[in-house]
Chains A and B, each alone.
Chain A
Amino acid sequence: MKTIIVVGNGMVGYKFCEKFVARQASNDFKILVFGEESRPAYDRVRLSQYFEDGNATALEMAPRSWYAENNIELITGQRVTDIHRSSRTISTMNDQTFSYDYLVLATGSSPFVPPIKGIEKEGVFVYRTIEDLEAISAYARTLSEGNMQPPKAAVLGGGLLGLEAAKAVMDMGLEPHVVEFAPKLMPRQLDRRSSKILQGKLASLGIHVHLNKATNAIIGSRAITGLQFGEYDGIMVDMLVVSAGIRPRDELAKTCGLEMGTRGGIVVNNKMQTSDSSIFAIGEVALYNNMIYGLVAPGYEMAEVAVSQILGDQEVLMSETIDMSTKLKLIGVDVASFGEPFMPVEKGYAILFENKTKDLYKRVNISHDGTKLLGGILVGDATDYNRLHQLYLNDLPIPEAAEELIIGSITNGSPSLGSVLDIPDVAQVCSCESVTKGDICNPIKSGACNSLSEVIAMTKATTGCGGCKPMVTDLVDETLASLGKEVQDTICEHFDYTRQELYGICKVKKISTFDQALATCGKGHGCEICQPLLASIFASLYNDTPNDEAVIQDTNDRFLANIQRNGTYSVVPRIPGGEISADKLITIGKVAKEYHLYTKITGGQRIDLFGAKLNQLPAIWKDLIDAGFESGHAYGKSLRTVKSCVGSTWCRYGMDESVSFAIALEERYKGLRSPHKIKGGVSGCIRECAEARGKDFGLIAVEGGWNLYVCGNGGANPKHAKLLAEQIDNETCIKYLDRFLMYYIRTAAPLMRTAPWLEKLEGGISQLQKIVVADSLQIASALESEMQSLIDAYQCEWKQAIENEAMKSRFKHFVNDEADDDNLVFVPMRDQWMPKQWEQ
């Protein structure tokens, strides 16, 4: 048995292990991994996510147990200090010695900290490890405490990483300032014009940019208080994050005499071997073709090469040219550059498109003979990045009028890039996991995979940076379509239809029970997917309440309450527009007290009462209904809340009565069942305190009426709502909303919010405008009258449930006993109660 020692358990060191294990040759080898950091390898590319959720485990490349399961010994918190090449041993910081047959150096790099005067001051950080992020957060918190003004943070370096860091400090509530030595941002990827556009865009997000600034001192006594550029120039800041490039961690190699680059890095050949053939170097420490590649994809390829070489597969060599294309993530601005972003005149010419009013810049570089795309830059809209990148990578033919590559997408909405299926099978689509187009399409053609999720499970495509997701989705969809296979949007094995089709069938054939639906157009006995879906369709068509056919409802609808962690329920009475009288507040307080319910103000401007046992629900609702409350439908795929700000009733800036209108809208659409939940918001002025643009529909009062926005949401993938109509009066708002909502209800896929629905709608918002405002399909009056009949049919389903003994009888834990569920355990928390934590 031979021993491989891997030094460094970062992204690339981990990938080496993963690829090694995948070859199943590991029985002949023992792998021993040393990592200096205390944690097993984590996804550094997504490091900034740690600020969002503070969840370090979620970033892990694999859990610690994975290493053990695959016979890899992982020793973390242990730095390797020396390599003794003559005895083929290494020693560690606590003087243990281990011998190797092969040594793999994957020590990565460290941030370069320029020797500026004062750089050692408190409040100066780098951005590379989870510990760095923890230190930054902790410092930011102490700065923010008791501070009225947001503290300021500078980021030294306006490259890819610097901008990411700037966004991160901004999200922490600090005022970000990016300081760059060069005259432009992202100097390696962008030209001056695109940098300008990016700068404007960043300014609108609140990120200040200082270009042409050579920082020559960091001022402050103990902690940083500012940066000094020239004699009279500088800025006052409370914190600094240095992001001025990286330096390979090559110290081990230096001391044992391996060949090094003049500016650092361990020299490797195309087998990833160093000057000592039993020592390999991969990732950001390796100097290949006289370059250090600060990206993860080349590192992964290096890992693949090293694994192959060690296992005797000598043909696998590192590619000659390394693709350095990049797309900036996170920041809220699309920025991408690929291939050769700048074009020396002797090699080709550039075609530029710039629209400053829209912060848009697109550039493609074309070979002199007009046949090849050599590179380009996209700022403001990078939707075409994946396709252009593929054209570039695979030397694919381009349109004769090369400007169509960028302008086509602006004039007619779709770029003239042809089908994704035109790219060759060998084209690499997911560079993080080296997945080619063939790897994605072939399993579909052979029938091994039938959906996006199956392709992802098989190939790991999209699981790295995720940038290739749109392209992989297109490839899967188009391949399925080319095989004549339905792109999977039929509902389940019981109904071979889409939701829209089923909606139509039920409407035409007046189907109103699940059994009828099965008999007319289904097969088998139904399942947990089609039953609630049909229930929702019946509700949208006839405004049936869930009481009518309780057993086909999702559990929340079946019991008209949201199930909680321990099987109890929460109770959310409707509080339209968030307005509530003192008497009603007292009632809620009394009910909560009587039934020992935990109360909390929700994110939707109302009050949730948690911990009600199934058999208590009718009594609780009786008390609430007697006091004038109604169901809040918090459990339903239906209208939730219409959030309001206080508006002109009280607010000195209010342009209109936002509360009154929010209440009117909430009353109008309450109980409306839809493909997914619907939320609304009404703000009294453009300060937008009701966050109306984060809702499925939102109104903002402006001079001369309301601006109506549609198709926004919060959640995991926030989307701002888009403007549908401007300066309209209350009546017109309602008319457009009736049409919009009803059209959505008719056509959306199950569990699809309005934002993704709009994305799928051909023609997008302008098409929706045509339908809703200009009535291009001539269905407006039908939509309006359908909506009106649903509104007329509204009844409070809780009132219905408690007044009808048969309906009420379902709210019991035991059918044969009045007892409570004896499995429930509550524990105290602050002044209330919560369910005991799960043990598994």
Chain B
Amino acid sequence: METIISTYTSVNEQAVKTWYKAGPVEAFPDNGGVCVKYKDRQIAVFNFKRKNTWYACQNLCPHKLEMVLSRGMIGDANSLPKVACPMHKKTFSLETGENLDGALDAIATYPVKVADNIVYIGFSE
């Protein structure tokens, strides 16, 4: 199981080597998430329309290691954007990945960019 977690590490924009083409903007629901497959990884992508910002993070919830975060609800707590896991409602910052209501490991986050109506996720390799 450790191996699964270790396939996900945060990437910041400067470190991006590959911008993976995830799909057209219409495929991503407003204010909700979907899951993108990239090689053997599962990435949750959120089109946070109300903030006009896109976020991406691992789909794996560190609580019970299930691939579910893309199905969680997004929102904010004290203006901090967050996602709530659909399984037991643990919440994570979409910016830093940090667990906001407990001491779970932080989730990995990835940069997202949109160009010519196409959504890209940034990876470091």
Contacts and interface: CB of A to CB of B under 8 A. Distances in A.
B112 to A, nearest CB: 13
B29 A551 contact: yes
Interface string B15-51: 0000000110001111110111100101001001011
Return the 6 tightest CB-CB contacts between A and B, nearest first: A551-B32, A555-B86, A527-B75, A528-B84, A815-B34, A814-B37
A650 interface: no
B65 A814 contact: no
A368 B77 CA distance: 60
Interface string A539-581: 0000000000011101100110001011100000000000000
Contacts of A555: 68, 71-73, 86-87
Given A526-B76, A527-B75, 17 more contacts: A494-B75, A518-B50, A525-B48, A525-B74, A525-B81, A526-B50, A528-B72, A530-B75, A531-B73, A551-B30, A551-B31, A554-B73, A554-B86, A555-B68, A815-B27, A815-B34, A838-B64
A695 B27 CA distance: 43
B30 to A, nearest CB: 7
B64 A528 contact: no
Nearest to B20: A816
Contact of B76 (A525, A810, A813): A525
Chain A, interface size: which category? 35 or more
Contacts of A813: 35, 67
Contacts of B71: 555, 558-559, 563, 567, 614
A128 to B, nearest CB: 37
B13 interface: no
Contact of B42 (A514, A554, A559, A823): A823
Contact of B22 (A525, A567, A810, A816): A816
Contacts of A567: 66-68, 71, 87
A729 interface: no
Nearest to A566: B66
Interface in B41-95: 42, 45, 48, 50-51, 60, 64-68, 71-79, 81-82, 84, 86-87, 89, 91
B115 interface: no
For A559, A816, A822, which residue has the most chain B Cβ atoms within 10 angstroms?
A816
B1 interface: yes
A493 B73 contact: no
Contacts of A518: 50
Chain A interface main SS type: loop
A527 B50 CA distance: 12
A815 B36 contact: yes
A816 B37 contact: yes
Interface of A: 493-494, 514-515, 518, 524-528, 530-532, 550-552, 554-555, 558-559, 563, 565-567, 614, 810, 812-817, 819, 821-823, 838-840
20 contacts: A494-B75, A524-B75, A525-B48, A525-B50, A527-B77, A527-B82, A527-B84, A551-B73, A555-B71, A563-B86, A567-B66, A567-B67, A567-B68, A567-B87, A813-B35, A814-B42, A815-B27, A815-B34, A815-B45, A823-B42
A795 B45 CA distance: 31
Contacts of A525: 48, 50-51, 74-76, 81
Given A493-B78, A551-B73, A816 B91 contact: no
A775 to B, nearest CB: 40
A170 to B, nearest CB: 36
Contact of B65 (A810, A816, A817, A838): A838
Nearest to B86: A555
A816 B40 contact: no
B94 to A, nearest CB: 11
B1 to A, nearest CB: 5
Contacts of B72: 528, 555
Contacts of A524: 75-76, 79
Nearest to B45: A815
Contacts of B81: 525
Contacts of B66: 565-567, 823
Contacts of B28: 815
A821 B42 CA distance: 9
B47 to A, nearest CB: 9
Contact of B37 (A526, A559, A817): A817
Contacts of B60: 823
Contact of B29 (A493, A559, A614, A810): A810
Contacts of B75: 494, 524-528, 530-531
Interface of B: 1, 4, 22-23, 27-32, 34-37, 40, 42, 45, 48, 50-51, 60, 64-68, 71-79, 81-82, 84, 86-87, 89, 91
A822 B73 contact: no
A527 B76 contact: yes
Nearest to B62: A840
A528 B68 CA distance: 15
Contacts of A552: 31, 73
Given A550-B29, A822-B40, A839-B65, A527 B73 contact: yes
Given A551-B31, A814-B37, A815-B34, A528 B73 contact: yes
A554 B84 CA distance: 10
Contacts of A838: 64-65
Contact of A815 (B22, B76, B87): B22
Given A525-B48, A815-B22, A840 B73 contact: no
B40 to A, nearest CB: 7
A494 B79 CA distance: 10
Contacts of B51: 525
A815 B23 contact: yes
Given A567-B68, A810-B29, A816 B36 contact: yes
A559 B71 CA distance: 9
A822 B66 CA distance: 11
A816 B27 CA distance: 9
Nearest to B32: A551
Contact of B77 (A493, A810, A819, A839): A493
A413 B40 CA distance: 65
Contacts of B42: 814, 821, 823
Nearest to A810: B29
Contacts of B82: 527
A565 B67 CA distance: 11
A550 B36 contact: no
A379 B86 CA distance: 46
A131 B45 CA distance: 53
A531 B73 CA distance: 8
A823 B67 contact: yes
B89 A815 contact: no
Given A563-B86, A840-B65, A815 B35 contact: yes
Nearest to A528: B84
Contacts of B31: 514, 551-552
Contacts of A812: 34
A813 B50 CA distance: 24
Contacts of A532: 73
A819 B35 CA distance: 11
Contacts of B68: 555, 563, 567
A656 B68 CA distance: 48
Nearest to A555: B86
Nearest to A549: B31
A515 B35 CA distance: 24
A713 B104 CA distance: 35
A242 B84 CA distance: 52
A746 B16 CA distance: 52
A499 B32 CA distance: 24
Contact of A528 (B29, B34, B89): B89
Given A525-B75, A525-B81, A821-B42, A814 B36 contact: yes
Nearest to A822: B40
A816 B76 contact: no
B125 to A, nearest CB: 19
A569 to B, nearest CB: 10
B64 A840 contact: yes
A817 B64 CA distance: 24
Contacts of B22: 815-816
